[in-house]
Structure 1
Amino acid sequence: MPESLQLTILIPLYNEEESLPELHDWIVRVVSERQYTYEILFVDDGSTDDSWLIIEQLSNQNSHVRGIRFNRNYGKTAALQTGFQAARGQVVITMDADLQDSPDEIPTLYDMITQEKFDLVSGWKQKRYDPITKTLPTKLFNAVSRWISGVQLHDFNCGLKAYRQKVVKTIAPTLYGDMHRNLPIVANWNGFKRIGEKVVQHRARKYGTTKFGLERFVNGFLDVLVIAFVHRFSKRPMHFFGTLGTLSFFVGSVMAVWLIVEKLINISRGVRFRNVTDNPMFFFGLVAIILGVQLFLAGFLGEMLVRQSLNRSGEQFVAERVGFTEQKASV
């Protein structure tokens, strides 16, 4: 078993050679003052500059520094996932490598996890040093994320977060795509409900330029929808497809019955009326009925696949036990 430490500082990065030495020295100064047992874990997401060379130099100078390097750029989620799996600290704090996150926040974040017993603490950059083209989409993304997830945070996308080790080990296998923006939501839906928030200092970028464009907000919004759908319906697809299918079939049937009844009434009154198939409503109703049947069958097939998968592999549940003793079955 690897040595368990109090603290892991996890730093995903891409082309941040200028800031790494300064960031390292700042972190070391803060954690040394508190006498934490710690590691600084850099995850180089396929940098094309000298970032990895600097990480190697820092590791040679400081035995608490470890590094992981990707052979190409896989994205921040992959970097965090790999870092979570490798982290040895009882508290894992993530921060960006561009010096916009202040290491001076580390002690308070650590105390909120260890003393106030939060599972996760997310930073809130209440005052930002970013252009409106970045801050306005951020506010919209955060509002939508709160509405969909029910997790009441002001700043989901803040890179400065603190986690209990159990949280990162649980959520790491479930991460993909661009889910790094939605980690509090993923943690919440994995049963970690004690999620806190702390106002943190946001600093202007000192070196280089941002590596993210406006498309990240579109991707983040879509990922929130995916997470919500998978969480709510992956184990019970009939609840989603069956409900939509039933509603669609019902609406289509009402349209068809209405047209038939209207036709019969007009015939009984001797009123000349156009054919049912000449009415556009007939085709809308027919499409709704067919779509309803297809959605219902999709839900049914989904249920069959889920049940077959569970029968083959069994479902693993995360649970703590206390007071249990092993008992042998009597014959």
Structure 2
Amino acid sequence: MTDKSLFEPYTLGSLNLSNRVVMAPLTRNRAGAGLVPSEHAAIYYSQRASAGLVITEATQISAQAQGYQDTPGLYTQPQIDGWRKVTDAVHAKGGRIFVQLWHVGRISHVDLQPDGAAPVAPSAIRAETKTFVNNGFMDVSQPRALALDELPCIVEDFRQAAANAIAAGFDGVEIHGANGYLLEQFIKDGANARTDAYGGSIENRARLLLEVTAAVAREIGADRTGVRISPVSPANGISCSAPQPQYDYITEQLSALGIVYLHVVEGATGGPRDVAPFDFDALRSRFKNTYLANNGYDLKLAGARLAEDKADLFAFGRPFISNPDLVERLETGATLAALNPATLYGGGAAGYIDYPALADSNAQ
């Protein structure tokens, strides 16, 4: 009934994973004062430590990088200390955990930016989307274009955040190059109208992502560095006129850097897998290390793709929220608990750490 190989150990770089099921990054908007992970975060992540790999919610590399209310950072000592509680709790359960690092770029609001400044972007093109701020959804603010001499600072912020991640006890980091955030804004020509070395050609638009990745890999090791991409997702109002050659090139360059995995959103983020024509197998063939497949996966699809050698690891998102023991439920064919959408973003323990595991349910 199930493909047992999904639940067998897998070697990711220097890490031994207990299975091939990955907990995808899931923004929950529950950070506390100073954007430190909440008091419940260690419980939340450790409850889900049976995943082969846990990837945390997206985490800011700087104050400027924030785009949503109550999302955590990794650029101050209290934030590092807060994440250390999380990593210690996950490791105590035998789990492995990476932190996803992001800069949201234009997907932000002036009320979230230092001194009320405009969000930054490759070009002064406002995204047609909303963000969560002041306890509600509001249109994102008009961004300003980053100056050329500001880009090394972005690279440095990613590098420092990666160093902070290791100090906080993470096994590695995932660079967020997907879903319409800053690095993807540079990649896709719908958001990038620059005429300098970071705009125009395929190579130029990929430059910032590759510089960030190289800097992080030098800092913490390529075997601790992953990258997430979403070639055809329209998330956050992003678009690309020719995604196939763009992402074929990016994948080849990332492979050459030796990063440990490529995390690919296949289709529209959280939506249809066939949103636009794209050959994801072409990325698989161009990347020499682990291919982590994401979007709409269930047991049947993951098993089929693994049997065809189309991917190595498989990311599950929202099912992990309401099923802390998702791996066990998938392996045994148990019913999956339903998600309460009212508690998805913000709040406290409710809808965060109170979803029961099978063992808890059976004991009642």
Same fold, judged at TM 0.5 (above): no
Q: Greater Rg, structure 1 or structure 2?
A: 1
- Smaller-chain TM-score bracket: under 0.3
Please state which structure has a larger fraction of its residues in strand. Answer: 2
Q: TM-score, normalised by structure 1?
A: 0.26
Choose between structure 1 and 2: higher helix proportion. 1
